[in-house]
Amino acid sequence: MRFLLAVLLIGTVAAGAEGKTWQGKMRDLSNALSEAIPFLYPDPSQDVKGLNEKVKKIYEISKGLDVKFDHAQKVKDFDPALPYLAGMLKQDIERAYLSMQDGNPEYAKAVIRSSTAYCIACHTRTKEGVEYPLLSAFAQPLKKASWITRIEFMAASRQFDAVLVNVMGELAASGNPGISPMDLERGSRIALSVAVRVKKDREKAQFLARAIEKSPTATFSMKEGAKVWKADISEWQKDKTKYATDEDLIKAARALVTKARRGSSPLGGHDEVKYLRATVLLHDLLRQYPLSEFVGESLYLIGQSYDSLQDLGTWSLQDVYFLACIDQVPHTKMSDQCYKEYERSITLGYSGSSGVHVPKQVKKHLETLKLKAAAL
């Protein structure tokens, strides 16, 4: 579903630059997406030719999308990572299209479906952003999808209240054979991200943690994690700090990340609330103070936070923020640190039982970035 990001993210990035022409493109893309979604799930009536036509249509529209950095700077929810996210979207659409041309429709569908977490991570960054009620038209084709797929779709399309209602309902239920413990845990983590980052609602977050503790179907691991969440949310509820400057924001974020890294909880791990709170502060800093001297450090700390929040559905967003860091503050100690984190993350992705096998093209990419990041 990463191509859903085209409607929700790239529409934000460049809407002001293209006027009615851009709006027309977005309407076309929205229509193409609504036609394609039913083909992503098993249905005996589906045919490869129909799927190919839908993916080709999306691909042709995506080629006209503008992902220039200067357009991203004009939006209210400015984030230096937006152009990278938009560019990755276009790459994914192209990859799905080429897979269809190579006669591999299942891989093309998998590329699209597996990217839902990526959408969630982007659209639960902050409460900023418009609602897209038009996307409710996509709900009908998803009726045959699993519970967790519907939760992921709700989050990706900014139907945040629906996420909280559905997750809380399942936690209170006596059990549903169609929902695995793993799916229930993932849904709960998505709900936590919504409560902390989007809603910034301490009471809703605490209510969620208590619901997990009382849930008849939550696993032991979930209940142990909920204890940590409750303690961290209680600390958040006591915090009445006002952040008047960019320095106030960076200091508070540093403290939260440092505490999370140390594993301050006596139970060990489950520091999602601290990392989520840190990302809220850091995204606020980037949005409110785009020229701050702390932009580089903010991008670095966001990348590190997302690296630790991967199980929450932030997927590979850390790489995007490390790249943005290198571009925003090149040839500095901070960009050098960001490069080291980025290189580690990329190299890990090419590691296996037979060793590390990084493709030549990727090695060349890393060499170019290293030169740009190296402190003078």
The token pair that represents 5 in the structure block: 């990001």
Alpha-helical (H) ranges within 124-159 are: 147-156
Q: Angle at the Cα of 249 (from 248 to 251), degrees rounded to 5?
A: 65
Of the candidates 31, 4, 27, 182, the one whose C-alpha atom is nearest the C-alpha of residue 96 is: 4
Q: How many whole angstroms separate alpha carbon 222 and alpha carbon 209?
A: 9
Q: How many whole angstroms separate alpha carbon 367 and alpha carbon 359?
A: 12
The token pair that represents 273 in the structure block: 């609330």
Q: Angle at the Cα of 45 (from 51 to 4), degrees rounded to 5?
A: 40
Q: What is the pTM of this model?
A: 0.77
State residue 354 phi and psi, 5-degree precision.
-95, 5
Indicate the length of the chain as a whole number. Answer: 376
Per-residue pLDDT of the chain (376 residues; tens, 9 = 90+): 333 333 333 333 333 334 434 455 556 655 666 677 667 666 545 667 888 888 888 788 777 765 555 544 555 556 777 677 666 767 777 888 888 888 888 888 777 665 554 555 555 565 555 444 445 545 555 666 788 888 887 777 678 898 999 999 999 998 888 899 999 999 999 999 999 988 999 999 999 999 999 999 999 999 999 999 999 999 999 999 999 999 999 999 999 999 998 875 555 568 999 999 999 999 999 989 989 999 999 999 999 998 888 766 555 678 889 999 999 999 999 999 999 999 998 888 788 777 788 888 888 889 999 999 998 8
Of the candidates 269, 89, 120, 100, the one whose C-alpha atom is nearest the C-alpha of residue 192 is: 120
Which helix (H) or strand (E) covers residue 352, if one does? Answer: strand 351-352
Residue carrying structure tokens 């960019």: 246
Alpha-helical (H) ranges within the chain are: 4-5, 11-36, 48-62, 69-72, 82-101, 105-113, 116-123, 147-156, 160-172, 181-193, 202-214, 220-238, 246-261, 272-288, 295-308, 317-328, 333-349, 360-373
Max intra-chain CA distance, the chain: 61
